[in-house]
Copies of this chain bind each other. A is one copy, B any other.
Amino acid sequence: MTYPPTEAASPRPHTTMKQVAALAGVGTKTVSRVVNSEPNVSPETARRVWEAVRALDYHVDMQAGSLRRAGGRTLTLGLLISSVDNPFAGGIHRAVETLCNQRGVAVIASSMDDDPQREIVAVNEFMRRRVDGLVLTTAAEDMRYLAPTLERGLPVVFVDRAPAGIKADVVASENRAAAASATRHLLERGHRRIALLVDRITIHTANERRKGFLEELGRWGVPTADVHIATELHGAEDAERVLLEMLASPRPPTAVFSAQNLITIGALHALRKAGKEHSVALIGFDDLPLADLLVPAVTVVIQDAQEIGRTAAERVFRRLDGEDLPIEKLVIPTRLVERGSGEILPPG
């Protein structure tokens, strides 16, 4: 003889609307009305329903709801960033989240570590979860895989980096101009042997910053033989090693432009190890906590991560609200903050 399955061993750790309806002695539609604050429910009925809701600790299942709801919105946004651990990405994330909170929208963030493979996996995952919109930092060289999604009308906004192969909104800093102005800052102070440290140039921003750097050098007629360029740097350790080599070379750089926050950290370590933090100039792209307290304090190009995130999320929501906007590139201003390291003069 066997026992029938018991109620107690329920595999679902959630109460249902039906249970609430039963306890309150009403129909499910009435519960739905109450928990969604719809009109046409008598105060007394509403009271009974809320009581049952509390007694059973009931929470509506949004997923089930959005299946039937007009428009099928899931109130979820997908956010793709280099890493949830990166300060710049964190700023974007925070701003996106703030805007989303105002609308009861949840953010699913995914780190892709600048790996195109992980980007594709993550975006697929977003689609399977039926996010209402996408805010993407892309690592891929070709974004055509997203074309059908865009055509179907899903709002997609790129942040930080422009996508290749498709037309979509972009929110980004003016990387090229900012890199050029940082470079000019060094040139104006007499530097000619300048080093550029940059990550993978297949990353759109990295390449833009490199271009801005080179163009400015071109305008000043600096011979390329004077210039040290290292690309494809992955993180701080790489940057440190490479800069140490440059500093030990016969004609070492008198100034450094490090084109990303982790690379700046590596560069700072290299300068310290070489004992040259007071003699070699440095300008970094992206601010870092404590950068203002180092000696010398670090001159940086500040990107407004919060503003980038805010603008991108706002764009997604305006499209969701049905506004018919043209595809645009929205440029967020950067700021060169002079703190000391970028104002060091060349020797002699």
Interface residues of A (CB under 8 A from B): 11-14, 57, 59-64, 66-67, 70-72, 74, 76, 83-87, 90-91, 93-94, 97, 104, 106-111, 124-125, 127-130, 148-149, 152-154, 265, 268-269, 272, 288-291, 293-295
Contact = CB atoms under 8 A, between A and B. Distances in A.
Contacts of A90: 84-87, 90
Contacts of A109: 84, 93, 97, 107, 109
Contacts of A108: 76, 106-108
A59 B127 contact: yes
Copy number in the complex reads 2
A118 to B, nearest CB: 9
A151 B86 CA distance: 37
Contacts of A97: 84, 109-111
Contact of A289 (B62, B91, B130, B289): B289
Given A85-B93, A94-B83, A106-B108, A129 B62 contact: yes
A85 B107 CA distance: 14
Given A13-B153, A90-B90, A268-B290, A64 B67 contact: yes
B148 A71 contact: no
Contacts of A76: 108, 129
Contacts of A63: 63, 66-67, 74, 129-130
16 contacts: A11-B71, A14-B72, A57-B149, A59-B124, A62-B129, A62-B130, A87-B289, A97-B111, A106-B108, A107-B109, A109-B109, A272-B293, A288-B289, A289-B290, A290-B294, A293-B294
B269 A12 contact: no
A71 B14 CA distance: 11
A94 B84 CA distance: 6
Contact of A154 (B13, B148, B152, B288): B13
A149 B93 CA distance: 28
